[in-house]
């Protein structure tokens, strides 16, 4: 991180600016980059640096996030859902890292639509994906497959529902105990993706049984900035949930800054307190949907959210 201040000093009025994210950031230092050269977007870029992992949050389109993941020991980098190749290559250059890998969560254009363009400009990339509809895949992966990035371990978690070939990427470092997961359009901060190609049973498996089984401290990097909309729905489902109310206030302070800052990441432990779709076994959530059982509650919640209008 030492190089950041000098590298961005000329274009930054916010560095060094380490923002503590309360319980979310136990070991990640967070800093915001005021990059005046980056074209108009919904959020400022931020960098989260752990001992060996670094994640640079790259906003794209109207509310998407791409992520540049770096193993700081080897300077190898992977990019998650690089829909805007120019912005990715600019970040790679600024970081001085070697981009080797694309991690694609699913085939939707706003996630996979930049693969071809990036492959034209950066040769020799390994492209992971779990769906034949994803452009440029060099390695088709299935549930449980593993890959590596320098000294980091990447485990593929198949989470079919939003799309049949959706993959989440769980990244760990045996040396430092750092853990993060890239969840695409399966798990959002406070919400989940629509069930375009799947069922409530599948989303229950994805959220409660797979992602919910990851350690609480695992940081969650999702595909969109939908946090306030999702939390608004969450507080409608559980009006008495103080964790949701607190998170809404915290997110508002981030989003009301000019320029706005991302609300990403959350953590698995936090999602279990604020995300109704991960709380489908809770009595309060089942009372709201008037259903019993996690799967029926998941089905009812998603149907309600699909038609939910923020007051």
The site for Zn ion (CB under 5 A) is made up of 108, 185
Cβ distance to Zn ion smaller for residue 159 or 205: 159
The label of the residue with tokens 């996690």 reads: 294
Cβ distance to Zn ion smaller for residue 76 or 185: 185
Which parts of the chain are beta strand (E)? Answer: 29-33, 45-49, 53-60, 64-71, 76-80, 98-103, 126-129, 139-140, 146-149, 152-158, 167-172, 179-184, 187-188, 191-192, 219-222, 266-267
Task: Clarify whether 288 is annotated catalytic.
Answer: no
Q: How far apart are CA 17 and CA 159, in angstroms?
A: 36
Q: Alpha helix (H) ranges present in 223-290?
A: 227-237, 242-255, 268-274, 283-289
Catalytic residue among 107, 162, 166, 288: 162
Q: How far apart are CA 214 and CA 216, in angstroms?
A: 6
Cβ distance to Zn ion smaller for residue 110 or 238: 110
CB 55 within 8 A of CB 48: yes
Task: Clarify whether 162 is annotated catalytic.
Answer: yes
Cβ distance to Zn ion smaller for residue 108 or 288: 108
Query: What 3-state DSSP class applies to 161?
Result: coil
Task: Clarify whether 35 is annotated catalytic.
Answer: no
Q: How far is the CB of 123 from Zn ion (least distance, A)?
A: 28
Catalytic residue among 107, 111, 166, 288: 111
Catalytic residue among 110, 131, 135, 173: 110
Beta strands 191-192; 64-71: pairing state: unpaired
Task: Clarify whether 107 is annotated catalytic.
Answer: no
Catalytic residue among 35, 71, 84, 185: 185
Query: What 3-state DSSP class applies to 190?
Result: coil
HSE at residue 45, side-chain half, CA atoms within 13 A, is 28
Q: How far is the CB of 108 from Zn ion (least distance, A)?
A: 4
Task: Clarify whether 166 is annotated catalytic.
Answer: no
Q: How far is the CB of 87 from Zn ion (least distance, A)?
A: 19
Cβ distance to Zn ion smaller for residue 191 or 294: 191
N-to-C CA span, the chain? 42
Q: How far is the CB of 183 from Zn ion (least distance, A)?
A: 11
The phi, psi pair for 216, rounded to 5°, reads -55, -35
Strand partners, 67: 57, 80
CB 192 within 8 A of CB 204: no
Task: Clarify whether 177 is annotated catalytic.
Answer: no
Q: How far is the CB of 298 from Zn ion (least distance, A)?
A: 18
Query: Any idea what DSSP says for residue 134?
Result: S
Cβ distance to Zn ion smaller for residue 122 or 137: 137
Q: How far is the CB of 91 from Zn ion (least distance, A)?
A: 22
Q: Which are the contacts of 287, defined by CB distance < 8 A and separation ≥ 6?
A: none
Active site residues: 106, 108, 110-111, 162, 185, 224
């Amino acid at each position: 991180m030492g190089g950041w201040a000098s590298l961005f000093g000329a274009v930054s009025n916010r560095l060094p600016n380490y923002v503590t994210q309360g319980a979310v950031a136990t070991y990640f230092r967070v800093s915001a980059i005021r990059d005046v050269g980056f074209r108009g977007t919904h959020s400022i870029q931020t960098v989260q640096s752990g001992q060996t992992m670094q994640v640079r949050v790259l906003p794209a389109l109207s509310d998407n996030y791409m992520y540049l993941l770096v193993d700081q020991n080897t300077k190898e980098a992977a990019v998650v859902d690089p829909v805007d190749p120019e912005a990715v290559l600019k970040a790679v250059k600024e970081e001085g890292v070697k981009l080797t890998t694309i991690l694609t969560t699913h085939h939707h254009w706003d996630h996979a639509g930049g693969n071809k363009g990036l492959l034209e400009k950066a040769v020799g990339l390994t492209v992971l994906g779990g769906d034949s509809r994803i452009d440029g895949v060099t390695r088709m992966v299935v549930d449980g497959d593993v890959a590596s990035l320098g000294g980091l371990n990447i485990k593929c978690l198949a989470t079919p529902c939003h799309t049949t070939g959706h993959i989440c990427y769980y990244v760990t470092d045996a040396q430092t105990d750092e853990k993060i997961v890239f969840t695409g359009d399966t798990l959002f901060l406070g919400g989940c993706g629509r069930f375009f190609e799947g069922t409530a049973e599948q989303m229950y498996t994805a959220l409660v049984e797979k992602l919910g089984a990851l350690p609480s401290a695992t940081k969650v990097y999702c595909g969109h900035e939908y946090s306030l909309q999702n939390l608004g729905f969450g507080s409608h489902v559980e009006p008495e949930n103080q964790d949701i109310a607190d998170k809404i206030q915290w997110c508002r302070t981030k989003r009301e800054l000019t320029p706005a800052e991302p609300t990403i990441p959350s953590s698995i432990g936090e999602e279990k307190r604020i995300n109704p779709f991960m709380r489908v076994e809770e009595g309060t959530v089942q009372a709201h949907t008037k259903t019993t059982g996690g799967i029926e509650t998941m089905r009812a919640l998603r149907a309600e959210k699909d038609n939910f209008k923020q007051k």
